[in-house]
Structure 1
Amino acid sequence: MGLTSMDFLFLYALISIWIMLLYHIFLAFSGYRYHEEVYRDPGAVLSAIKEYPFVTILVPAHNEEKVIGRTVKAVMNMDYPQDKFELIVINDCSSDRTGEILQELQEDYNNLKVITVLPPEGGRGKAAALNRGLREAKGEYIAVYDADNTPERMALRYLVAAIVQEPQLASVVGKFRTRNKDRNILTRFINIETLGFQWISQAGRWKLFNISTIPGTNYIIRKSILDRLGGWNEKAITEDTELSIRVYEMGYREDTEFSMELYGLGYKIKFFPLAVTWEQEPETWKVWLKQRTRWVRGNIYVIGEYLFKLLSIKRKIIALDILYFFSIYFLFLSSVLISDIIFISEILGISNLTLQGPFFVLWVLAYILFVIEMAIAVNLEKGEGNLKNILLIALMYFTYCQMWIFLTLRSFYLSFKDRLMGIKTVKWYKTERF
């Protein structure tokens, strides 16, 4: 008997899922190797720097009265020479007490500058707020923190020390941790998810390919590069991911006359986990869904912008990274949907699947691989490699991870709806604070 269409769909789903699983387990072990490399001598990067440059720290804020005070104090208390940095908070159309709190804090800190943006200029999103701050920045380097962040005291020193010693680094990104991880089961899942993303995707890709992606917070970038690129893209929902691609596409220049673009070289973005900030994550499913929908829609925008430009992209390793994003949101998603549909149809007895094989064993092995790769990631953080987190990983495969399917489908629907209606305006996607 020949193979049915259901058989071919099943094979497609099986192969796609296993390719992604094997790739991620490979990244997880690479992330482990990078962890061992960085933490072997964490003080080495600091001992090599003789003089610290002037840095401008940008914090975009929109209705952040619950967290902005703590964030400003944490930034100001970082172990970095006070005469070598300025903090610019962009108070963008806040209708709560954010402005009043910042005004009070200005009395305590001479190097704190507050830019208040009002309509009609304001309210156009995080990228627009960052560009507003960039226009008044005096620093040779620009560091960015979200308004809910409390960076550790050495965070900025590590970011600066890493970037000044390698001229080919356009940006250095640090690690973020979940401050409210013990609030409920959702925040515990998010804590595991963020550790997995950073040690598998960020650290693993850096170790293997010398690439990583700029996150929304806790990173430093050369101001000269931002100026050449025209700042952040105000049309992009996830301005950080979009900025990463444009950075990689730039030709590396040691000065204004010399370019390595002809030689296929370019700037790099380095993941450097010694620089740590703590941030507040969503504590309710409603807030989580809103935040993650914005992230997925932003990634869909980036895929749509660059997928059909792959052949013209100069840095081919970035083309592979764009294909990776495409594989997650299209190939992997379709594979998971197909496998779920076949599974349900088999239970209902309406499937015409004729293939025979150890498919249950393959499913169990896939589940074990998932648990192993996530367990590697959490074990790289002190205090996280415990039995409770391992059990949560085993549980999140059937719960939290399945929410990703609904989340992604919802994001595709909303993106398609906006495109159909011609909606292109980017606004603040405010994550509710607690």
Structure 2
Amino acid sequence: MTPAHRESPAWLWAVAVILCPVYGTTASIVFVFSGTFGTFGNHLVRDVMLIIVSVISALALTYISLLLFTFLRREAHTKGQAADFEWHLLVPCLNEESVVAETVSAARTSFPTAHVWVIDDASHDRTGAIVRGLQDFDNHVHLITRVLPNARTGKGDALNAAYRQVGQFVGDNPHRRQHTIIGVLDADGYLSDNTLELLAGPQAFGDEQTGGVQIEVWMKNRNDKRPRPLNGRWKNLVGKILIHLQDIEFRTANSAMQLLRVKTGTVGMGGNGQFNRLSVLDHLAEGDGEPWGKKLSEDFELGLKILSLGYRTHYTRDAHVSQEALPYFRRLLTQRTRWAQGLLECASLLPRLRRAKVLNVAGLLELHFLMIQAWLSMTNLLVIPILTILAIVDGGTWLWQSTSQLLTLFAAIIFLVLPYAMWGPLYRIRAGAKVGWLNSLGLGLLFLGYVYLTYVFYARAIGRMLTGRNAWAKTKRNADDLRQLDTTPLHIIPTAAPLLDRAVVQQLAVELEGREEYAHELISTFAVIWPKRLANVQLATAAEDRDATWDAVASIRVAADMLGAARLAGTAAHMAQFVEAGDFDKLREALPALEQLGTDTVEEIRRDVVAASEF
């Protein structure tokens, strides 16, 4: 095929050429020639360290400036016809019983024509059973069961198993495979309702040179008031801050990086919300045996391999996938160490990209800078403390010796603080986050510390690589903690009412042109949608959003009434009273009862309607 070579816009080069020397000169004045960190020329080792810090600062500030310029230049995407493509969503799962039902339900509710393929990677919980239960009601839900010892060998292997199954399902027709799109969702991922239309547009898969598209990532629990339900007020405050910082990271800084990569032709694929053309995966399989590789960041690895074949990769902010953020530092540390190590492993693909000669100079520079960022971070981690200690030892009370040194120190702080703290206000301005100005400024300053945590992530990642440790460390789900809470149901369930009134179902059939199969289809749809409806109540209650909770509870009550699920409808009516009173503590206590009752109602549908009618 003809390589999808893309020239970078002229303004990108102009900004880089102008700013890099300016930043380099300024950094040299601040760090090398000001005397604040010692007199240049008196100590060779210190001189080298000062030059290194200046060069790293100039490169980092130039890169961040390019991110800022790109992020502020909003370019809307055009929708296409989703019906022009066939859509298959892959959901790799290992012990995901707490979230898989709502994820499958959300995907099938939003995208009725899409197929959802859950890969159960030898889970020891109820993941497989939950998916099989959904299959009873929906023939677009598929389960791929992997069994030990051929399971738990990495996410890439799980996705490759699904690729083979989907390939068999689609068949060998080249045109159909060209127009089949494979998406990858985390087990907690929700796609925005406009996703498939935007992916079908001319900037995405409407261009046949496009091999992969990544959409923006949001944190779905960003409004949770108690993200750490087993802990007290202060730990919950820390959890809320961590969640907001992750939302800032993905919706501003990470999004800006991807938008810049659109210009350089080097967009990377992420583990959640990536979409790839089946025919391109076939092309990869021809050369590599399988599309996805063995690296810890198998998603980013896949994107680089797609680029090496000459296909385009693209990114859009106008569609998004929501996932849960981690309110626990230890879990965040585990997750980000894995990501950092995976990124470092992908450096081995750079020679392949250079040999392919499909990227322009800007693209190659961007990728190489991305790969060396870990080493630059580690260099700063070592050098800056040494320079500071030497300056204090040599200068005594050097900070207060003159106004010029204080000003220089202030300039150095600006160099280290402003490029990262600015993302807090931009989170409010450009990402549309519902935070006030003061909160956005505070979050920006906290984001600075969050960014510097990458030093820890990269240090751990490098340590793991040097010691040969590359096992895939799974991050525990937040929802797993809720199972440790007291789930004693409240006495709000009208036990005298039936779980499912068959007379109502029969009346539905009469109203639907006398066709009982239409009634069966309607109540089966209720069973598929139920996990998403429950999740809507849980998310709204966690956020203590009165309007959203009212709507979510009302949705359950109305649907249950229509189907004759009187016990569920009555429970929802009781919960509506808690919403009206603004009593979210009572609502939280009632959620386990609602969940269990919904499960019982779905089981009743399965027994009395689906099984009885051989539906």
Q: Name the counterpart of 1:411.
A: 461
Q: Name the counterpart of 1:31.
A: 71
Equivalent position to 1:360, from 409, 425, 438: 409
Q: Name the counterpart of 2:292.
A: 233
Q: Name the counterpart of 1:133.
A: 162
CA contact (8 A) 1:142 1:220 kept: yes
Q: Name the counterpart of 2:442.
A: 391
CA contact (8 A) 1:232 1:239 kept: no
Q: CA deviation at 1:111?
A: 0.7
Q: Name the counterpart of 1:246.
A: 305
User: TM-score of the superposition, structure 1-length normalised?
Assistant: 0.84
CA contact (8 A) 1:195 1:378 kept: no
Classify 1:389/1:50 alpha carbon distance in 2 versus 1 (closer, same or farther; 3 Å).
closer
Classify 1:129/1:402 alpha carbon distance in 2 versus 1 (closer, same or farther; 3 Å).
same
Q: Name the counterpart of 1:2.
A: 41
Tell me how far apart the structure 2 counterparts of residues 199 and 141 of structure 1 sit (CA, whole Å): 22
CA contact (8 A) 1:56 1:86 kept: yes
Residue 274 of structure 1 pairs with residue 303 of structure 2: no
CA contact (8 A) 2:427 2:433 kept: no
CA contact (8 A) 1:241 1:302 kept: yes
Classify 1:348/1:407 alpha carbon distance in 2 versus 1 (closer, same or farther; 3 Å).
farther
User: SS of the counterpart of 2:461?
Assistant: helix
User: TM-score of the superposition, structure 2-length normalised?
Assistant: 0.61
Equivalent position to 1:14, from 34, 54, 59: 54
Equivalent position to 2:196, from 153, 156, 162: 156
Q: CA deviation at 1:312?
A: 2.7
Q: Note the alpha carbon deviations across 1:42-87, whole angstroms, 9 max, x for none.
A: 6x423xx384221211111111011101100110011x4x3x4311
Equivalent position to 1:285, from 305, 322, 329: 329
User: SS of the counterpart of 1:281?
Assistant: coil
Equivalent position to 2:214, from 170, 173, 187: 173
Residue 120 of structure 1 pairs with residue 149 of structure 2: yes
Classify 1:349/1:196 alpha carbon distance in 2 versus 1 (closer, same or farther; 3 Å).
farther
Q: Name the counterpart of 2:101.
A: 69
Q: Note the alpha carbon deviations across 1:1-21, whole angstroms, 9 max, x for none.
A: 834220221121122123212
Classify 1:307/1:212 alpha carbon distance in 2 versus 1 (closer, same or farther; 3 Å).
closer
> Which piece of structure 1 moves more, 403-412 or 157-166?
157-166
Give the aligned residue type for 1:204: L
Classify 1:307/1:151 alpha carbon distance in 2 versus 1 (closer, same or farther; 3 Å).
closer
Residue 217 of structure 1 pairs with residue 257 of structure 2: no
Tell me how far apart the structure 1 counterparts of residues 148 and 395 of structure 2 sit (CA, whole Å): 58
Unaligned segments of structure 2, at least 5 residues: 1-39, 171-179, 228-239, 399-403, 480-615
Classify 1:401/1:50 alpha carbon distance in 2 versus 1 (closer, same or farther; 3 Å).
closer
Tell me how far apart the structure 1 counterparts of residues 408 and 351 of structure 2 sit (CA, whole Å): 36
CA contact (8 A) 2:93 2:118 kept: yes
Tell me how far apart the structure 2 counterparts of residues 249 and 374 of structure 1 sit (CA, whole Å): 35
Q: Name the counterpart of 1:315.
A: 358
Q: Name the counterpart of 2:338.
A: 294
CA contact (8 A) 1:62 1:91 kept: yes
CA contact (8 A) 2:248 2:423 kept: no
Q: Name the counterpart of 2:369.
A: 324
Q: Note the alpha carbon deviations across 1:16-35, whole angstroms, 9 max, x for none.
A: 123212211222221221x2
Tell me how far apart the structure 2 counterparts of residues 76 and 306 of structure 1 sit (CA, whole Å): 36
Tell me how far apart the structure 2 counterparts of residues 288 and 428 of structure 1 sit (CA, whole Å): 11
Larger CA Rg, structure 1 vs 2: 2
Q: Note the alpha carbon deviations across 1:93-150, whole angstroms, 9 max, x for none.
A: 1111111211111112111011111101111111111111111114522111111111
Structure with bigger helix share is 2
User: SS of the counterpart of 1:90?
Assistant: strand
Q: Name the counterpart of 2:114.
A: 85
Q: Name the counterpart of 2:255.
A: 199
Q: CA deviation at 1:292?
A: 0.3
Q: Name the counterpart of 1:255.
A: none
Give the aligned residue type for 2:63: Y
Q: Note the alpha carbon deviations across 1:246-303, whole angstroms, 9 max, x for none.
A: 11110xxxxxxxxxxxxxxx21111111221110121201110110010000011112
Classify 1:409/1:124 alpha carbon distance in 2 versus 1 (closer, same or farther; 3 Å).
same
Tell me how far apart the structure 2 counterparts of residues 339 and 205 of structure 1 sit (CA, whole Å): 30
Q: CA deviation at 1:313?
A: 4.3
Tell me how far apart the structure 1 counterparts of residues 434 and 59 of structure 2 sit (CA, whole Å): 28
Give the aligned residue type for 2:412: W
Residue 54 of structure 1 pairs with residue 103 of structure 2: no
Q: Which has the higher contact order (CA 8 A, sep 6+)?
A: 1
Classify 1:161/1:2 alpha carbon distance in 2 versus 1 (closer, same or farther; 3 Å).
closer
Give the aligned residue type for 1:291: Q
Give the aligned residue type for 2:320: V
Tell me how far apart the structure 1 counterparts of residues 291 and 147 of structure 2 sit (CA, whole Å): 20
Q: Note the alpha carbon deviations across 1:148-179, whole angstroms, 9 max, x for none.
A: 11112222232233533211111111111001
User: SS of the counterpart of 1:164?
Assistant: coil
Q: Name the counterpart of 1:381.
A: 431
Equivalent position to 2:79, from 34, 39, 45: 45
Give the aligned residue type for 2:409: F
Give the aligned residue type for 1:164: F
Tell me how far apart the structure 2 counterparts of residues 234 and 210 of structure 1 sit (CA, whole Å): 22
Instruction: Give the superposed CA RMSD.
Output: 2.5
* Structure 1 stretches of at least 4 aligned residues deviating more than 6 Å after TM superposition: none
User: SS of the counterpart of 1:45?
Assistant: coil
Percent identity of equivalent pairs: 22
Classify 1:50/1:113 alpha carbon distance in 2 versus 1 (closer, same or farther; 3 Å).
closer
Q: CA deviation at 1:219?
A: 2.1
Classify 1:296/1:378 alpha carbon distance in 2 versus 1 (closer, same or farther; 3 Å).
farther
User: SS of the counterpart of 2:218?
Assistant: strand
Q: Note the alpha carbon deviations across 1:378-432, whole angstroms, 9 max, x for none.
A: 52112346321221111231x32232212211110011101xxxx66x5463443
User: SS of the counterpart of 2:139?
Assistant: coil
